[in-house]
């Protein structure tokens, strides 16, 4: 098991911190006792949401399940030998060493892992249900950075779409929301980052 320092990633201005606190308060109300939240379109915001849940006293597992982007693997320069979501999807019996500890005792991470061929079968995709089930007993909340198609988000209790203000368009956002809902995602709302 290894550990990473998340201080730089969760460094926020006072205004940004307040916005995430308000968002998490709303999400807690929407989710109730449900544990698993997916975030699409912005992996860094997903991480900050997870950290904001920690700030409310919850123990949180952040899962970087957007296999095609590997944002956090690259950010931490962890290399190709790191086990993660992709490895679990391919071989769920070998789930050892998926958890990465952070310098915050109440937040752990599962990184993407490496998907050599870039293809996720439907059977592998459904392994996300098993992954969520396995870890849901150990955490108050699971927050996932999901692929944009919602293939992973559909296994979560709710999904939040995050747009940067410069990329937001009401018509496109509505179409994207409808697309996710047609893929069986429970879309809780759209958030626009300034």
Q: How far is CA 84 from CA 56, 79, 89, 153, 171, in A?
A: 27, 12, 9, 17, 35
pLDDT of residue 132: 92
pLDDT for 159-176, tens place per residue?
999 998 888 889 999 999
Look at residue 45 and tell me whether its pLDDT is greater than 70.
yes
Look at residue 1 and tell me whether its pLDDT is greater than 70.
no
pLDDT of residue 69: 65
Residues 6+ apart with CB under 8 A from 91: none
Average pLDDT value over all residues in the chain: 87
Q: Give the 3-state DSSP-derived string for 4-68, with helices as H, strands as E and coil as C.
A: ECCCCCCCCCHHHHHHHHHHHHHHHHHHCCCCEEEEECCHHHHHHHHHHHHHCCCCEEEEECCCC
Q: How confident is the model at residue 87 (pLDDT cuts 50, 70, 90)?
A: confident
Q: How far is CA 111 from CA 58, 92, 181, 188, in A?
A: 20, 15, 26, 24
Q: pTM value?
A: 0.91
Q: How far is CA 146 from CA 7, 51, 118, in A?
A: 22, 16, 15
Look at residue 80 and tell me whether its pLDDT is greater than 60.
no
pLDDT of residue 184: 94
CATH, domain 14-193, list 3.40.50.10320, 3.30.390.10, 3.40.50.300, 3.40.50.10490? 3.40.50.300
Residues paired with residue 61 on neighbouring β-strands, in sequence order: 108, 142
pLDDT for 6-16, tens place per residue?
888 889 999 99
Question: What percentage of the chain carries pLDDT values higher than 70?
Answer: 87
């Amino acid at each position: 098991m290894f550990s990473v320092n998340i201080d730089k990633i969760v460094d926020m201005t006072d205004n940004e911190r307040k916005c995430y606190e308000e968002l998490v308060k709303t999400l807690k109300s929407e989710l109730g006792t449900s544990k698993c939240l997916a975030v699409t379109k912005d992996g860094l915001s997903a991480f900050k949401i997870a950290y904001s849940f920690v700030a409310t006293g919850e123990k949180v597992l952040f899962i970087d399940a957007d296999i095609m982007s590997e944002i956090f693997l690259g950010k931490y320069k962890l290399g190709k030998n790191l086990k993660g979501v992709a490895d679990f999807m391919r071989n769920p019996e070998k789930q050892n060493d998926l958890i990465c500890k952070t310098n915050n005792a109440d937040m752990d991470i599962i990184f993407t892992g490496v998907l050599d061929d870039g293809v996720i079968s439907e059977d592998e995709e459904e392994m996300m249900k098993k992954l969520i089930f396995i870890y849901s007993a150990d955490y108050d909340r699971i927050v996932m950075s999901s692929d944009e198609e919602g293939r992973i988000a559909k296994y979560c209790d709710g999904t939040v779409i995050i747009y940067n203000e410069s990329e937001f368009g009401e018509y496109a956002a509505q179409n994207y929301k409808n697309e996710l809902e047609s893929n069986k995602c429970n879309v809780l709302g759209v958030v626009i980052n300034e």
